[in-house]
Amino acid sequence: MTAQPNCVQVTLVRPAFTLHASFEPPVRGITAIFGASGSGKTTLLRCIAGLERAHDAVVRIAGRTWQDDSRKLFVPVWQRPIGYVFQEASLFDHLDVRGNLAFADKRASGVDRKQVALDEAIDLLGIAHLLRRRTHELSGGERQRVAIARALASQPQLLLLDEPLASLDHARRQEILPWLERLRDELHIPMLYVTHAADEVARLADTLVVLELGVVKASGPTGEVLARIDSPVVVGDDAGALLEGRVEERDERWHLMRVGFAGGSLWLRDSGLPVGQAVRMRVLARDVSVALETPQASSIQNVLPCTIEAMAPDAHPSQVMLRLTVGKASLLARITARAADALSLAPGQQVWAQVKSAALVG
């Protein structure tokens, strides 16, 4: 078995479960490992970390091989330059926040480098005001920020995050998501982020790897993978497209802003972002309809000329999913099979997409 630099290849065989995963994460940014419960996400992360021994595997990150069974090579977990963040923060309750961080930075080499790494982690996660607090005094979101800072303090070459928001309520999730975005934008190390939440994928991930029953079903740029309809990654109400754009205009009278993307622009509720700010938009398939002619006298303000690229049955037989090409971007539209038949829709056809709603996700 051969592998390219930064390639992860893992095969793990058990009596009731087989994991076979191969993908190449980028050298920086967040790669989301997405899938339903039991798909092998956490097992994959544990094999990469060395917490679990894979079989017939090659694990290579940043040109360094951590496991290669063909060479009988296995680097133990304590020699792998990784940071690992679990679902639960797992902080030491007998130590304050500063003590928890100090315990972790012992893995970093060199006194000066250790202090720089620790100071940068404290700044990145905004926890300087928490250093003297005992861990039982922290909220769930604060505990996870401390746990991530502790993982970063050892200067890892790879950061592994195993559903770090799963144990948090909605308010605490919204509290920590901006900090994860900051890590994505400012850290120069790759991150593997396990989740089963489509909204976290849309907001955080640069690259998406989809696991199903231990096998990689899709991988690539997040927007491209989410827009698949031949083998949809997300089904149900969460299915939708991800668009990268910039704020181009504000309408102060109506409290709206116009966001341009590769296929045109959309008006959204004004969130106060400055003109020129890069943003991500999520457009759910349920919020997109199509028309054969330019809609007139409609309350829907976002109307885009597009082409039907593909059609596929949806999860329920009453509906179909359309993949629409809008310039260099893609949208998904969920409509009834009856409507598709009445309009005689077919791939290659020119239509108008009516976008009822779009939302910023980061």
Q: Which domains does the chain have, with CATH numbers?
A: 8-233 (3.40.50.300), 238-360 (2.40.50.100)
User: Which burial class, exposed, middle or buried, applies to 348 when counting CB atoms under 10 A from its CB (0-12, 13-18, 19+)?
Assistant: exposed
333, 241 contact by CB (below 8 A): no
Place of tokens 């793990």: 12
Contact present, 304 and 263 (Cβ < 8 Å): yes
DSSP lists the bridge partners of residue 221 as 207
Pairing status of strand 350-355 against strand 207-212: unpaired
Each residue's pLDDT, cut to its tens digit, for the chain (362 residues) gives 344 456 777 877 777 778 888 888 888 899 999 998 889 999 999 989 999 887 777 887 767 888 888 888 999 998 998 999 988 878 888 889 999 888 776 655 544 455 557 888 899 899 999 999 998 899 999 999 999 999 998 888 889 999 999 888 888 898 899 999 999 998 888 899 999 999 999 999 999 999 998 899 999 999 999 999 987 788 788 899 999 999 999 999 999 999 999 999 999 999 999 999 999 999 999 999 999 999 988 899 999 999 999 999 998 999 999 999 999 999 999 999 999 999 999 999 999 999 999 999 87
Alpha helices in the chain (DSSP H): 41-49, 97-104, 111-125, 140-152, 170-186, 198-204, 222-226, 337-342
